[in-house]
Amino acid sequence: MPTKGSVAVALRMKEKQAITKEVAKRYRKAQKKEKTKMLDELVATTEYNRSYATRALRLALKQSQKADVNQSGVETGTGPTTTTS
């Protein structure tokens, strides 16, 4: 847990989400040993349960990939659209 002097500082949910999002960017490109260290640090910083932290990272990666696709101009539909008249 982050500390300020000798007093523990609790992070707000938005801060934890921002940290998770930043870690996810580096996590995607990391090797296995680096991912283990990054996950350990994320758990220590956010106080997430380890399994929850892995889920949060996967979700953050999925959302960032979705945002990348949307920014590239590629549509993210579920399939071809058909209209009946």
Comparing 7 with 70, which gets the higher pLDDT?
70
Domain parsing of the chain, residue ranges: 31-68
* 17: pLDDT strictly greater than 70: yes
Provide the token pair at 56: 């949060």
Alpha-carbon gap, residue 19 to 11, rounded angstroms: 10
* 85: pLDDT strictly greater than 60: no
The arithmetic mean of pLDDT across residues 41-52, rounded, is 94
High-pLDDT (> 70) share of the chain, %: 68
Could you write out the DSSP letters of every residue in 31-56? -HHHHHHHHHHHHHHH---HHHHHHH
Q: What is the pTM of this model?
A: 0.66
Residue 11 phi/psi, 5° resolution?
A: -90, 145
